[in-house]
Amino acid sequence: MHATLPFLARTDFPPLKRRAVETLQVNLGYRCNQSCVHCHVNAGPSRKEAMTAATVDAVLAFAAASPDIKTIDLTGGAPELNPQFRRLVAAARARGLHVIDRCNLTVLEEPGCEDLADFLAAHRVEVVASLPCYLEDNVDRQRGKGVFDASLRGLVRLNRLGYGAVGSSLVLNLVYNPQGASLPPPQADLEASYRRHLGERFGIFFNQLFTLANMPIQRFGSQLISKGHFNTYMRTLRDAHHDENLAHVMCRTLLSVDWQGYLYDCDFNQQLGLPIAGSTDNRLHVTSATAAALAGRPIRVADHCYGCTAGQGSSCGGALDEETVAAVRRSG
């Protein structure tokens, strides 16, 4: 059973409209050196999809024509495994754009990536590193044997370059995902636990922890369906919905680009094949659109959107509840 089928039905999720596009989230392809059980992209070592040089150029042109875009957010798969990754980073930084690399940490040890950490530091790239728990058994169960140790080595290497240090401009944020069909715990409390455990045991430091709910699509969605937990998890998300989180959902100011250059309201809609509402020929390409033309348009919503508004809320920047958002704004 395909994990996307439940989302093709009508939804009662509240309607949303996007504001100006401030962040362009670019999926460089689905190849990854890991195969995590919670992955909503179904990425892995055998995936071949990868953004071409021509599409990278089109993405850069789209950003250049959109003055409201301040951030390029690079994701995958492991975005660093795309041969165009470094060229895209260098070009975006040369244009004054803030660049985020969503890094799985173990990629820093992949052949050809030995100098990747130095490259990221030299270009002042913000690293958002996935570390779904601070305990070895939990991480290896979710991501593969040996991943925890390799992740720690990556964090130590980034720390030595200045990432996460007090007073440094090199930002290192960590990402937590629950082990299964449950909502993340309060972000502030869990961040304190991460700091204490990683700091005391390994001397590792970082800027912030982002807690993300697991989206019930692709690999994780299939797992829920196979275990008979899909409907229960969806009820959990719907029952925990908070209207106040709607003001801060990432799709209001973020635009997602897939590896072929097609545009979506978010990375989750991209994985479900749900194009931007009202798109010509069902899909809108980066070469035939402008960010300004998308402002004020309705956002394509479906039942999986409850994953972003449940509990304290969940986005690529962590929790969405008012207290957390206010704290982030004060610290920034």
pLDDT given at position 9:
53
Range of weakest confidence among 36-45, 47-56, 235-244: 36-45
For 121-139, what is each residue's pLDDT tens digit? Answer: 999 999 999 887 787 777 7
**89-107 per-position pLDDT tens digit:** 999 999 999 999 999 999 9
Q: In the chain, pLDDT over 70 holds for what percent of residues?
A: 87
pLDDT grade, residue 37 (50/70/90)? low
What average pLDDT does this structure show over 63-79?
95
**Total structural domains within the chain:** 1
CATH of the domain at 33: 3.20.20
138-191 residue pLDDT tens: 776 766 677 889 999 999 999 999 999 999 999 999 998 887 787 888 899 999
pLDDT beyond 70 at 329: no
Average pLDDT over residues 283-290: 92
What's the pLDDT at 110? 94
pLDDT at 39: 62
pLDDT score for 179: 72
- Tell me which residue range forms the domain holding 281: 5-331
pLDDT of residue 290: 93
Answer yes or no: is pLDDT of 32 > 80.
Answer: yes
Confidence at residue 322, expressed as pLDDT on a 0 to 100 scale: 46
Q: 266-275, pLDDT tens digit by residue? A: 998 998 888 8
Query: Residue 40: its pLDDT value, please?
Result: 65
pTM: 0.89
Predicted confidence (pLDDT) at residue 219 exceeds the cutoff of 90 = no
Please state the rounded mean pLDDT for residues 35-61.
84
pLDDT surpasses 80 at 34 = no
Confidence of residue 252 (pLDDT cuts 50, 70, 90): very high
Map the chain to HEC letters.
Answer: CCCCHHHHCCCCCCCCECCCCCEEEEECECECCCCCCCCCCCCECCCCCECCHHHHHHHHHHHHCCCCCCEEEEECCCHHHCCCHHHHHHHHHHCCCEEEEEECCHHHHCCCCCCHHHHHHHCCCEEEEECCCCCHHHHHHHHCCCHHHHHHHHHHHHHHCCCCCCCCCCCEEEEECCCCCCCCCCHHHHHHHHHHHHHHHHCCCCCEEEECCCCCCHHHHHHHHHCCCHHHHHHHHHHCECHHHHHHCHHHCEEEECCCCEEECCHHHHHHCCCCCCCHHHCCEHHHCCHHHHCCCECCCCHHHHHHHECCCCECCECCCHHHHHHHHHHC
pLDDT the model gives residue 103: 95
Q: Is the pLDDT of residue 215 over 50?
A: yes
Tokens 């002042």, residue located: 124
Q: pLDDT at position 36, please?
A: 66
Band of pLDDT at residue 35, cut at 50, 70 and 90:
low
Rounded to an integer, what distance in angstroms lies between the CA atom of residue 280 and that of residue 261?
15
Residue 262 has pLDDT above 90, yes or no: yes
Please tell me which of 46-50, 192-196, 215-219 the model is most confident about, judged by mean pLDDT.
192-196
